[in-house]
Structure 1
C-alpha cells in the first residue's frame, strides 16, 4: 500500500474535483477542454484506485455518492490552493518585482546610494521597500526578501551573511573639534550622548570594550538610528554608529570617528528569504547583486549581468 501512495493519480483526482464542483461530466469536460468520455474515464480510474464508487451513473446524469460527497469536500480546497499558489508564482515571475523588508537606516545610508547600479544592471526589475520594524515572519506577507540583523537564525528561511555589525562613536567634525578631538577621557565626560531607542545597550558595549567611562547625563533618545545619526551629523552630540552602513558619511567627512575604536557586537547583517515558496528570478538577481556588493560569493547565478 505504501508504494501505491507514492503514485497518486493526480489527473483523475483533478478531473473528479472539477466534476464534483460542476455536478456534470459535460461541464467538467468543457472546463478542462477535454471530452466527456475522457472525464468519465479519468473518474473510473480514480474509482478503481480507491476501490469505491464516487458517482452514480444514470441515463442522462450523474450524482455524487455519499463517499463522493465526503471526498470532494476534502480535495476541492486542496486543488484551489494549488492553483492559487501556481498563479502567485507566475505573477511574481511576470512582475519582476522584489518585495524587500529593510531597516530605514539601511535604506537611507547604504541601499539608496547604490540602488541605481542594480537598476542599470537589471533594467525592468523593481524593488519595493517595506521598512516595518517588527519580528520577521514571512507567513501572511508578500515579502520576497528581508535585510535582517541577527545571528542567522530564522525559521522556514534561508539566509546569507553580508557583513558583521561593527560599531564606533561618530559625530560631526565641528563637534569633535569643540571637545579637542576627544583626546582625553575628560572630554568624553562632558559630551552629549545620542541614543537610538532600541539600541541603547550598544553604548555600554562600546564603553566596556574601549575602556571608557560614559557621562553621567542620560543624553537624548531618538526613535530610530536614522534620527540619531542625523542629529550627530547636525552637531548635537555623539552617536554609536554602525560603521559599514555609515561608510559613505565617513568617507565624505560629514561624520568622523574621534576615538577610532571599532567594536564587533556579535550580530551580523543577513539577507533572508523564505523556503516555503519558490525564489523568483528578480529576487535571485537581487540577492546575487547584494552579495557581490559585499564581496561575498553569489548564491544563484555564476555569471553576473552588466554591473
Structure 2
C-alpha cells in the first residue's frame, strides 16, 4: 500500500539513474556518493514493492515497470519545477539550446519543432547548426545531436537511429527505363566527409565504382539536394532528409532503393556533474520519440 508520500529525493535519484544507467555517473551528477544513490533506489523500490532496475555485473538496466515509470516521474519533476518558477520566479532560463548538423536542422528538426512547442509553449528553443563536428565542449549547449559511429572521445553518446541513404536526382532527369544506367552517366554529387557513400551504393548494386564520372563536391547534404533538384546530377543522401525537400512541391526523385550505412544519429551525453533541467529532459524524451516514430 502506498499510504505515505514517496520521498522526492528518491524520485530525482531514480530519474538520473534511469538516464545514466550507471550509479557512479548518477552520484557524480547529483553530488552524492554511490552508496547514497544505491540507498535511494533500494528505498524507492522497497516503498513501491517493485524492482526498478536489473543489476548485473558492470551492467544496469531498467525493468519493464521501471521503463513505464520513468516518463511519469520525469513529467512530474518537470511540472514541479515549472510551476515553482511560474509562481515564485527563477533565475534559471527555460530555454533549451540544441546543436545539430546543418542539414539535419534545416530538413528534419526545424519542421518538427513546432510540434514540441505546441505541447510545451513555455519552453523556448534555440537551434544552433554546424557543418563539421566540434568537440570543444558543451558549455552553451543543452542537447547535441551528432551523426557518426558513436566513437567520440570527448563524451559518451546514446544511439538514436540507424540510417540509410538513397540516390536522388531532379524530377524528370532520370526518365529512362534503367535508373542505374542513368546514374552511371553522372554527374555525381559528393558530400565532403561522406564521399564513401557513393561507393557503398554501387557496392550494394554489385557494381564497381565507375571511374571518371564528372561531378561536384559540396559540404552539406542540403546543398547536395538543392544541386540535384536543379538538375545538377545525382546525389546519395540520408533517406530521412528527402521528405522535407519535397514538402511543398516535388523537386527530387528517389531513383534507387535504400542502402544501410554505418553512421547513425547519436544524442551526446556529456559527463556533467550538474543535474539537467527538467525542460532539457523533456526535449530529450521528445527527440527519442520522434526518431522512434520514424523507425
**TM-score, normalisation: structure 2:** 0.62
Q: Say whether the 8 Å CA contact 1:103–1:133 is kept in structure 2.
A: yes
| Runs (5+) with no aligned partner, structure 1 | 1-89, 297-307
- Per the alignment, residue 279 of structure 2 pairs with 282
Aligned to 1:200: 195
User: SS of the counterpart of 2:174?
Assistant: helix
Offset, 1:184? 5.6
Q: Computing the radius of gyration over CA atoms, which structure comes out larger, 1 or 2?
A: 1
Q: Secondary structure at the match of 1:148?
A: strand
Q: What is the Cα deviation at residue 93 of structure 1? A: 7.3
Residue 237 of structure 2: aligned partner: 241
- Cα deviations by residue, 1:147-171 (Å, 9 ceiling, x for unpaired): 1112223446453322212011111
- Taking the aligned partners of 2:220 and 2:232, their CA distance within structure 1 comes to 15
Deviations 1:13-52 (A, max 9, x none): xxxxxxxxxxxxxxxxxxxxxxxxxxxxxxxxxxxxxxxx
2:143 corresponding residue in structure 1: 145
Compared CA separation, residues 185 and 133, structure 1 to 2 (3 A)? closer
User: What RMSD in Å do the two structures reach over aligned CA positions?
Assistant: 2.6
Matched, 1:125 2:123: yes
**The residue matched to 2:217 in structure 1 has which SS?**
strand
Match of residue 92 from structure 2: 94
Aligned twin of 2:265: 269
Matched, 1:231 2:227: yes
Please give the per-residue CA displacement for 1:132-154, whole angstroms capped at 9, x wherever unaligned: 33444363631111111122234
Higher relative contact order (CA 8 A, sep 6+): 2
Could you list the per-position Cα deviations for residues 266-306 of structure 1 after superposition, in whole angstroms to 9, with x for gaps in the alignment? 1111121322132112211111111111227xxxxxxxxxx
The secondary structure found in structure 2 opposite 1:275 is: coil
Unmatched runs of 5 consecutive residues or more in structure 2 = 1-84
Say which SS state the counterpart of residue 275 (structure 2) adopts: coil
Give the TM-score normalised by structure 1.
0.59
Aligned residues: 203
Cα deviation for residue 109 of structure 1 reads 0.8
Cα shift readout 1:72-101 (whole Å, capped 9, x = no counterpart):
xxxxxxxxxxxxxxxxxx999721111211
**Quick check: 1:190 aligned with 2:185?**
yes
